[in-house]
Every structure is written in C-alpha cells, then in structure tokens.
Chain A
Amino acid sequence: MKKQTTDSRPSGPKPWYDPRIRALFFQIVAIALVFWGGWTLVDNTLTNMQSRGISTGFGFLEETAGFGIIMSLVPYDATMTYGRTFVVGLMNTLLVSAMGIVTATILGFIIGVARLSSNWLVAKLALVYIEVIRNIPLLLQIFFWYFAVLGSLPSPRQSVEVAGSLFLNNRGLYLPEPIPQEGFGLVWGSILVAIVAVVGLSKWAKKRQLATGEIFPTFRVGLAIVVVLPVLAYLAAGSPMTWDMPALKGFNFGGGITIIPELAALWVALSLYTASFIAEIVRSGILSVSKGQTEAAKALGLPNGRILRLVVIPQAMRVIIPPLTSQYLNLTKNSSLATAIGYPDLVAVFMGTTLNQTGQAVEVVAITMAVYLTISLLISLFMNIYNRAVAIKER
C-alpha cells in the first residue's frame, strides 16, 4: 500500500524534506519534551521531599487548625480544620475584591468623566488625583491608610459615638446588626414583587417610548417602588426585626456588625488605587468616540447627561471593557497585600499561617495558585461575555 503511494509520486520530497512532516515531527518532539519536563519536575520534587522526610499529600486539610482568625464570613473557630481556614481566607479575599471592584469602578468612572469636564478646576483636580495615586506604590498606600487612620482614631473607651448605636474606634466601625424575626418573609416577598414590577415597568416604558416618543421617568419611579413596597410590607407585618446593638464589654465592643480597620484600609487603598487606572481607561474610551457623535446628539437637542449616557458611554464601552478586565484582575491579585496589615485573606490565612503550621508548602502554594488562577479566569470569562453583549453587532 505504502510502497504503491511512493511509487505513484516519485517526484515528491523524501519524508524528512517534507515541510509538513518535519513540522509535525518537531511539534511532537516539543510536546514530548514539555511533558517529560513537567513529569521530571513533579517526580523530582516528590523524591526530594520523601528523601528529606517532608510529609506530602492533602490529608492536612482534615486536621484541626487550632488558631484563631479575626474575621470570617462563615462560622469558624480554632477547633475546625485547615480546610475550613482555606474557605475563610478565600471568602475574605473574594469579599474585599468584590467590594474593591464595585467602588473602584464607580469612582473610576466619575473621575474619568471629570477628567474631561469643561470645568477647569474639576478637570485639574481629577488629573492631580490620577497622577498622585497611580504613581505611589500600592503597599505604601495600604500602610498609609492603615496606620494613619488607626493612629488618629480613639481607643475603644473613647469611641466616637453616633446616636448611641454607631461606634468608631481604633478596633473598627461598629454598627447595629439587624436580626429578622418571624414574619420577615413578607418583606422578602415584597422585594421580589417590587423587582418584578420594575422589570415590567421598564419594558412598558420602552414600548411606550417607541410608540409615542414620550419618555417615562423609569429610574425614579422604579426606585420609589423598590423602596416604598418593602417599607409598607415591613410596617404591615408589624416591624418584624430587632437590632443587635454593639456595646462596650471589657476591652472591646461586642455585638452588632464590625468592620475591622484592616478591611477598611485595604478596601480604601485598593479602590482608590485601581480607580486612578480605571479613570484613565474611561477617559481614553470617551475620547475614542468621534466628536461627530456628540455633535449629532446635540443637534438633536439631547441634554448633556443623556448624550453621555445614551450616545458616548455605550460606544466608549467597547474600548473600556478589555482593559477594565485587567484592572479587575489586578485588584483581585493585589488584595493579597492584605498580609502586610493583618487582614485575614487567602494569602495571610492559608499561605501564611496554615502553610507554616503544617509545613505543606508545595500543596498549599499549589492550591493558592490554582485559586487565583480560577478567580482570574472567571472574571475574564464574565467580562468577555459582557463585552460580547455590549459590542457593536454589525449585521
């Protein structure tokens, strides 16, 4: 069979001169080398660890952790496992990242737009903010917010008090915690109804605008519905909620919700820092929209706010979203600087204390790397889906 083929194409190149075969050969060699390299690394590590008597495996995740963590979103105490400390650290990382992404985006958009304001003072203030904040290392900013803020706050016994229910001191901000009682289901139900109503309303308003050209104040009316309906339901159910008030007990305040200064400092620093980059991205996005678009909208008689919201920003988003995604990734990864000020994020709790107490460096670092990779890929994925949704579709 093979012989015949060769015979039928006597003028064809020899296999080792055939570019396609050669390419294929080197590809296979390259893949084999990569696999061999990876396997050698793993095998070498395991052998070395075994010969030095370092225990391996993921069994340690089942062992009792035995150390305290100041803040956890899931129930945690020292009798729980290292697996649990991982979850606690992960949740704290996700919390501060999510909070940072939201505030950095809002702040970044405001400053980015302000940077292009026709008001000289506003534009220059935005410029100064951007240039100052983005040129100072983030770690310094975190230290500044942490120690400067901490140093200026009073001790628990001299707390700043607002209306006897809100306390601020160098251990954190203490807020009353709402505890829903029986009958609060009615409030949840009304919130659901309000959301459905608002969605219906906006659909109706859009249809009406298409038919008659009249604009219905959807946002304001919608907001009113979302606020008023649950409040009415709350009152109708007989105010089914009690408040757990913070109170000074011994050294510190107990009860209520506590926002620890580590979280506050990290959140503020990450938000301000990333916002300065986002502002520049927003500015470049807005500048990328042709001036003719604004002029055309003006000629139609649209007010400035609506020009920005309906004409400029939607087009600018195409340019904004891809670099915005990298900023979100940066913010999430930068949150690992938490370890410097004692915020119990994944790196501090898991790659710090857990690694050190168990000594399972390889496993812990591998898990942590996998987590950051997963978070980054997920952010990327969602932003890409969003990007595709808002991108201009040429039909």
Chain B
Amino acid sequence: MIMNKTKSIAAGAVMLCGVLAVPFASAATTLESVKEKGHLQCGVTSGLPGFSQPDSEGNWTGIDVDTCRAVAAAIFGDAQAVEFTPLTAKERFTALQSGEIDMLSRNTTWTLTRDASLGLNFAGVNYYDGQGFLIKKELGVNDATELNGATICIQAGTTTELNLSDYFRAKGMEYQPIVFDTSEQTVQGFAAGRCDVLTSDRSQLAALRSKLQDPSSAEILPNTISKEPLGPVVRQGDDQWFNIVKWVLSAQINAEELGVTSSNADQMLKSDNPNIQRLLGTDGDMGAKLGLRDDFGYQAIKLVGNYGEMYDRNVGPDTPLGLSRGINALWTEGGIMYAPPVR
C-alpha cells in the first residue's frame, strides 16, 4: 500500500517537473525557430474572400495570405512553406502572444492600445481601410446619419465595436448591437433579418456582401466612420523578426514603385538601377542585415509578386470584391502607400 502510494507520488513529481521544465527552455529567436520548423506559422482569418480564404482543396488565397507567403519566400525561397492557423477576431492576439503563431496577418487594425499594451508590434500596413455600413436596399437608407434606432450586426472583439459606439454617441443616435463570434455568423444574422445593418471595415463589407445569396439586395453606405490601417503583427521583443516582416512588406511596395514584378524579376536581376540591385540582392548585403539571404527581396517578388500584383490578384477591380486602389495606390499615383527605401 505504502509502496504504491510512494510510487505514484514519485511518478507524479516526475511528471510535474516535466511539465514545468518546458517554460524554462531557453527561448530561441523567432527566425531560428521558424527555420528549425521548416515553415512559417501564420495566423489568418477563418474565411474572408480576398483576404484569406481556403478553397475546396485547402489552398489559402488572399492578400493577407500572400503577405505570409512573401515572408516565407524571403526566408526559405519557398512561398509554400507556410502553415495557416485560422483565427477569430477574439482569438488572434492570444494566439500570437502565446507563440502559437509566428506572425498574424489577419486584417488587424493598428491602434495605440494594441501596439502599447498587448505585447505586440505592427509591422506595417498592407491595406488602408475604414469602417462602413452594409444595409439592405429595401430599407431605403442612403446615409449613415439616418440609422438612428437601427439594429446592427457586428463581429466580436474588433475595433469596429468601439468605433460604432463612438459614432452613434457623437451623433446623438441610438442603436442595438448584435455581436457574433465569427464573420460567417454575422452575415448569417444579417441575411436572416436579425439586424438592419452590418458594420465592418469597408473591404470586409465588400467580401461579406459577395457571400450573400443575392449580393445586389444590399449596398454599402457612402460613409466611412473610422481609419483602419490593417497589417501584419508580430510579438514584441524580437526586433530581428519585426524587421524581417516589416521589410518584406516594404520590399513588395518598393518593387511596385520600381516596376519589378514576379514576371520580370529575372530580367531585372541584370538592371543597372542601384535601387533595383539593392532590392533584388545583386548589390549590397541588405538581406544579411536582416539575418536573411541577400536575395530575400528577389524571392518574395519572384514567388509572390509586388504589392500591386498582390492587390490586383486578391481584392482589385477584376476580382469579385472589385475594390479600386483608392488610397491604397502608391504615393506616386495619388495614394498613400509609401515604403521606406531599401538602402
């Protein structure tokens, strides 16, 4: 009897030590652990057309997905070396904080609170957005100021929830929020008539509208009630990793500005423009400064494309979303997309 007890206690103690020893393992840098795993673990939305959505064969597509792929291409020279973790808005930060994912690329708005108190760093902006309203045409509403007393469907855990409340309070209007867990349920609630209006970032509204049975029955109101700079996020405290994600995105934007595309990247290797040479790694040691190979820019652009290609392929005018470049155009073309120089 005592023997048994002693044994089980001893076994318990060993197990306990095993469990506790894990957190003490010395923390490798994110780049090291990604290289060791052989793939990048990237957090994305669980399904939002144009941003990240798996097809019937499980291939993920979208602008947020491409941002992940570009980072993988820069590290491994392989845009497929990514595994995606679909996350709801509520889960995303915890997943990143706890190390479940290496980076978050999930139309996440850059705000001060998130930047300063969640232990996160925003590595740039891959889509400049703003919050809008999707409404059924039959209600005959043409402007958000006519929404007093409306019932509004929202997705839980977003900046949207706060902006909405601010907007209605500032305008002295009332509303009833119906908060769902996922964007899928939010659309379902809107389609079932639970709410008059669905509010979200305008790009998301376009995506969600395309999911409706009859997309032409709903329209997006002209009002934009907030600024929503969306972009990839990394954990705080690993500057090298922060720089890698930041500069892969910058490389893509610079590539568009310099006219380097996935199809002409090989010819551009022979370019005598020093900006292109530094970008593609034929001159200088830009990659080494980041802890990557010098051709990281070439790999990202060759395998995924520059920012414009990424935009046009996923959300641009020729896609079901049909979003014009607007402020997401390059600064040279009247937009605000502006990346610091690779030098």
A residues in contact (CB < 8 Å) with B = 19, 22-23, 26, 29-30, 33-34, 37, 40-41, 44, 48-49, 51-55, 66-70, 78-79, 147, 150-151, 153, 155, 170-171, 249-252, 254, 261-262, 339-342, 344, 348, 352-353, 355-359, 361
Contact = CB atoms under 8 A, between A and B. Distances in A.
A356 to B, nearest CB: 3
Interface of B: 2, 5-6, 9, 12-13, 16, 19-20, 23, 89-90, 93-94, 97, 113-114, 116-119, 139, 147-151, 153, 156-158, 161-162, 164-166, 168-169, 175-181, 185, 188-189, 192-194, 196, 235-237
Given A26-B5, A26-B9, A30-B12, A54 B156 contact: no
B6 A22 contact: yes
B189 to A, nearest CB: 7
Nearest to A360: B117
Given A23-B5, A78-B165, A356-B89, A342 B196 contact: no
B161 A357 contact: yes
Given A52-B235, A66-B166, 9 more contacts: A37-B19, A54-B119, A68-B175, A70-B179, A171-B151, A254-B149, A348-B181, A359-B93, A361-B97
Nearest to A250: B149
A53 B193 CA distance: 43
A353 B94 CA distance: 13
B185 A340 contact: yes
A109 B31 CA distance: 61
Given A52-B237, A53-B237, A250-B149, A68 B194 contact: no
Given A33-B16, A340-B185, A359-B93, A55 B6 contact: no
17 contacts: A23-B5, A29-B13, A33-B12, A41-B20, A48-B23, A53-B236, A69-B177, A147-B188, A170-B193, A251-B149, A251-B151, A251-B196, A252-B149, A340-B181, A353-B157, A353-B179, A356-B158
Contacts of B13: 29-30, 33
Contacts of A52: 97, 119, 235-237
A154 B249 CA distance: 49
Closest 8 CB pairs of A and B: A356-B157, A52-B119, A54-B119, A359-B118, A78-B165, A68-B177, A250-B149, A55-B117
Contact of A261 (B97, B169, B194): B194
B179 A352 contact: yes
A33 B180 CA distance: 43
A254 to B, nearest CB: 7
B237 A171 contact: no
A345 B168 CA distance: 23
B193 A68 contact: no
Chain A residues touching B, majority SS: helix
Contacts of B236: 52-53
A195 to B, nearest CB: 38
Contacts of B89: 356
Contacts of A66: 162, 165-166
Given A30-B12, A340-B181, A67 B165 contact: yes
A150 B93 contact: no
Contacts of A29: 9, 13
Nearest to A40: B20
Contacts of B158: 356
B141 to A, nearest CB: 9
Contacts of A150: 189, 192-194
